[in-house]
Amino acid sequence: MNNTKMYKEIVETIERIPECSKYNQQPLEEIVKAIKEFNPQNIVIVARGTSLHSAMFAKYLLEIYYKKPVSLAAKSVFTVYDTDMDLSKSLVIAISQSGKAKDITKAVEKANQSGALTIGITNELESITHKACKYNLYCNVNKAVAYAASKTFTSTMYLITKLVYLLTKNPKLELNDDKLINNLEIAMKHHDEIKNLVQSYKDIEDLFVLGRGIPYALAMECGLKIKETSHFHVSTYPASEFYHGPIVMINEKTPVICFALDKITNPDIKLMIENLKKLNSDVLVITNDKDLTEIANKNIYIDESNDMYALFQAIIILQLFACELSVLRGEDPDFVKVLEHIDTY
Residue 342: pLDDT over 60: no
Q: What is the pTM of this model?
A: 0.96
Percentage of the chain surpassing pLDDT 70?
97
pLDDT tens for 212-239 read 999 999 999 999 999 999 999 999 999 9
- Assess contact for 132 and 120: CB atoms under 8 A: yes
Confidence of residue 337 (pLDDT cuts 50, 70, 90): low
Taking residues 322-333, report their average pLDDT: 96
pLDDT of residue 174: 98
Beta carbons within 10 angstroms of residue 268's beta carbon: 18
- Report the pLDDT value the prediction gives residue 2, as an integer from 0 to 100: 87
Q: What is the pLDDT of residues 290-318, one digit of tens each?
A: 999 999 999 999 999 999 999 999 999 99
Give the containing element (helix H, strand E) for 311.
Answer: helix 307-328
What was the pLDDT predicted at 246?
93
Buried (b) or exposed (e) across 16-53, using 16+ Cβ within 10 A?
bbeebbeebeebbeebbeebeeeebeebbbbbbbbbbb
Mean pLDDT of 111-121: 98
Please determine, for residue 46, whether its predicted confidence score (pLDDT) is greater than 90. Answer: yes
Instruction: Please provide the average confidence, as pLDDT, over all residues in the chain.
Output: 95
**pLDDT tens, residue by residue, 153-198:** 999 999 999 999 999 999 999 999 999 999 999 999 999 999 999 9
Check pLDDT > 80 for residue 336: no
Which residues contact residue 307 at a Cβ distance below 8 angstroms, ignoring those fewer than 6 apart? 172, 214, 261, 262, 263, 288
Phi, psi of 211 (to 5 degrees): -160, 170
Ordered domains of the chain (ranges, CATH):
5-175 (3.40.50.10490), 188-328 (3.40.50.10490)
Band of pLDDT at residue 5, cut at 50, 70 and 90: very high
**Is the predicted pLDDT of residue 27 greater than 70, yes or no?**
yes
Helix (H) or strand (E) holding 128: helix 128-132
What value does the mean pLDDT take over residues 34-57?
97
Backbone Cα Rg of the chain = 19
Q: Would the pLDDT of 122 be above 90?
A: yes
| Dist CA 99 CA 124 (whole Å) | 6
| Residue 258, beta-bridge partner list | 210, 285
> What is the model's pLDDT at position 114?
97
Q: What pLDDT is attached to residue 341?
A: 45
Residues 321-337 have a mean pLDDT of 91
At 335, the pLDDT band (50, 70, 90 cuts) reads confident
